A = this chain, B = another copy of it.
């Protein structure tokens, strides 16, 4: 069932480094909001001060990667010029202004006279973050980790090695000026280490993979540490029979084309048979104009979709300007298609019929179910969370776009005056369960 792989045992050096982060995270967990905010500002200041060195390191990484034949799209993700860096540093500063996710009292209850239960949000502990290319992710994750009181072990791609080292060195310079230990952040540089990271369940509390579906699935199958993220994002848009054609087309185009490489872009368009002919008459030229390759079932081909969809098209996340089209007889057929092929990520309906919209919203059990808007809104910033740690397609919370709340947990504190359970069993004492 699980993929069989060779996960190397962690080296003594890796365990030593992970323990240092774990220990630093225990102190970080006790820091004040102001200390964590000041540390993030100090990190931003140090990154600015070292920006020339960071850009220079990035140029070396770029040259080396060009010689090694890295693809153009990976090169553009790797590139961190001065403008991009300044933007990233601004984003770090903004993390300081997000509301403090820790120390919030979620439950306060008197269990019995003199026996008080409190449930308070606390940091998870240590985050293990594995990402490909994008050195800006180092700054983002490091600042979100410290904001939420967590240590972080970061593993970037080897192509960004010099850039990442320059960034982490600046971050540590910044932390030196603060009350937060430099050991809170640790950078791993070898592939061996990133594999072993998956075994460190005594030191790492959450793995956050930032990369391809294959990377995420590999990690999910090879660690008992919880993984925040998602592998597939096969999203659907269903065009019901009762729609405004131009609105439906705009939503379909935006859901596919606004940023096709995003996980919340649609892969499949489901169209009600009664509107299919008139809708596709408008939509096909619009998609073609936007450069989208259309594949479809035989009905949609009869209505002008140029290519035939294969069975595996319905379960493929294109992440590209390609879209599969299927004509359905009813909202029920649309929902059953989504149930069969979807990823429980984000699925939408376009309809003016309130009953059909209600049925769709109640029955499709994806983390986001949308009515009359683009699936591209599935995003932590657009939801107003101020930050996005990732989008989770798992069913258990946190689910969907996850802000800082995905980086905290809670702890129950119980404070008594000598209370023992046997007094409650014998009837000598009793529970009151009064919320304070």
Q: Is the interface of A mostly helix, strand, loop or mixed?
A: mixed
Q: Nearest chain B CB to A248's CB is how many angstroms away?
A: 9
A251 touches which one: B198, B362, B418, B433 (CB < 8 A)? B418
Report how far A199 CA is from B258 CA in the complex, Å. Answer: 37
Q: Are the CB atoms of B365 and A122 closer together than 8 Å?
A: yes
Report how far A10 CA is from B413 CA in the complex, Å. Answer: 43
A244 in contact (CB, < 8 A): yes
Q: Are the CB atoms of A376 and B117 closer together than 8 Å?
A: no
Q: Mark A395-409, 1 if CB is under 8 A from B, else 0.
A: 111011100000001
Closest B residue, CB atoms, query A107: B383
Q: Nearest chain B CB to A341's CB is how many angstroms away?
A: 11
Number of interface residues of A (CB under 8 A): 76
Q: Are the CB atoms of B111 and A382 closer together than 8 Å?
A: yes
A427 in contact (CB, < 8 A): no
Report how far A415 CA is from B358 CA in the complex, Å. Answer: 11
A431 touches which one: B7, B373, B384 (CB < 8 A)? B384
Report how far A414 CA is from B122 CA in the complex, Å. Answer: 30
Q: Nearest chain B CB to A215's CB is how many angstroms away?
A: 16
User: Chain B contacts of A413 at CB under 8 A?
Assistant: 361, 368-371
Q: Are the CB atoms of A395 and B206 closer together than 8 Å?
A: yes
Show the binding face of A for B, using Cβ within 8 Å: 1-2, 7, 26, 29-30, 109, 111, 115, 117, 122, 124-125, 198-199, 205-206, 220-224, 226, 244, 247, 250-251, 253-254, 258-259, 339, 361-363, 365-374, 376-378, 382-384, 394-397, 399-401, 409-422, 424-425, 431, 433
A-B contact pairs, 27 of them (CB 8 A): A2-B2, A2-B222, A26-B365, A29-B362, A29-B365, A111-B384, A115-B373, A117-B383, A247-B418, A253-B420, A258-B420, A258-B421, A258-B425, A367-B412, A368-B414, A369-B414, A370-B413, A370-B416, A371-B414, A372-B416, A372-B419, A373-B417, A373-B419, A377-B419, A383-B412, A397-B409, A400-B411
